[in-house]
């Protein structure tokens, strides 16, 4: 059974650029959540999608956005990149996201220079 | 702002000992609690979850929940060097969102 697949694994971008990250959940999982992980802040919730609908959103600026497609694949976009956006971005999928726990992808390491 | 707190460690235990990892949370209404393990350079992986007060055992791992005191703990029996990792506590906030602690780094000394 394939796990959660995130692409790309590594990205280097310049301040002011935008970036799109992709996540393919485990087959049959309809909930996809995104987290930002940094050494100082730990895992911070970005948003959660289920059946193409955003059901919850974290406290991030509007530069962070996401969407989910009908096949449950999800993308997140960060516009006007700042140095502080450098982080590991983790996608996690679950069957319902109502208490069944996550399976995380390997993450995308974003470096903004 | 709801919070989940963990001692950052490192917590060092000798091989074969019991490692005890603790987590406190601020939202008294929280119902679901999770422990994840994260090896250096890897993504978190789910170890176990607990919903009810008391203990839940899974192999060498035991999760303990005390809702009145708002803490959840993870015990690792017969600790092995391969258990050396960062352990993340997560609490479900409302619906569809988890709050993670910053993790406790465990070092098991051979």
Please report, rounded to a whole number, the percentage of residues in chain B having pLDDT higher than 70. Answer: 99
**For residue A57, which of B95, B30, B89 has the smallest C-alpha distance?**
B95
State residue A98's pLDDT score: 66
Find the closest chain B residue to A107 by CA distance: B43
Is 70 exceeded by the pLDDT of residue B51? yes
Q: Do B31 and B46 meet the contact criterion of CB atoms below 8 Å apart?
A: no
DSSP letter at B83 equals: G
User: Residues in chain B, how many?
Assistant: 110
Find the closest chain B residue to A105 by CA distance: B43
How far is Cα B44 from Cα A17, in angstroms, rounded to an integer? Answer: 29
Per-residue confidence in pLDDT tens, chain A, 113 aa: 679 999 999 999 999 999 999 999 999 999 999 999 998 889 999 999 999 999 999 999 999 999 999 999 999 999 999 999 999 999 999 987 666 788 999 999 999 99
Closest-CA distance, B13 to chain A, in angstroms, reads 23
Q: Which residues contact B69 (CB under 8 A, 6 or more apart)?
A: none
Q: Do A102 and B46 meet the contact criterion of CB atoms below 8 Å apart?
A: yes
Chain-chain contact of B96 with A103 (C-beta, under 8 angstroms): no
State residue A101's pLDDT score: 84
Chain-chain contact of B96 with A97 (C-beta, under 8 angstroms): yes
**pLDDT one-digit tens code per residue, B76-87:** 999 999 999 999
Q: Chain B contacts of A103, Cβ < 8 Å?
A: 45-46
Closest-CA distance, A52 to chain B, in angstroms, reads 14
State residue A97's pLDDT score: 63
Find the closest chain B residue to A56 by CA distance: B96
Mean pLDDT of B3-10: 94
């Amino acid at each position: 059974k394939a796990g959660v697949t995130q692409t790309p694994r590594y990205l280097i971008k310049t301040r002011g650029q935008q970036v799109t990250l992709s996540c393919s959940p485990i087959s049959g999982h309809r909930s996809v959540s995104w987290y930002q992980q940094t050494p100082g802040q730990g895992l911070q919730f970005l948003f959660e999608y289920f059946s193409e609908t955003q059901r919850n959103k974290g406290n991030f600026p509007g530069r962070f956005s996401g969407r989910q497609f009908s096949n449950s694949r999800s993308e997140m976009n960060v516009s006007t990149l700042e140095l502080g956006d450098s982080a590991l971005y983790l996608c996690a999928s679950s069957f319902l996201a109502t208490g069944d726990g996550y399976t995380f992808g390997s993450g995308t390491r974003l470096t903004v220079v | 702002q709801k919070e989940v707190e963990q001692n950052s460690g490192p917590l060092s235990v000798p091989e074969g000992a019991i490692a005890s990892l603790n987590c406190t949370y601020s939202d008294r209404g929280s119902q679901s609690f999770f422990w994840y393990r994260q090896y250096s350079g890897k993504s978190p992986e789910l170890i176990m979850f607990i919903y009810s007060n008391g203990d839940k055992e899974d192999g060498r791992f035991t999760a303990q929940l005390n809702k009145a005191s708002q803490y959840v703990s993870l015990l690792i029996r017969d600790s092995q060097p391969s258990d050396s990792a960062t352990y993340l506590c997560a609490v479900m906030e409302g619906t569809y969102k988890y709050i993670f602690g910053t993790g406790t780094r465990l070092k098991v000394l051979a």
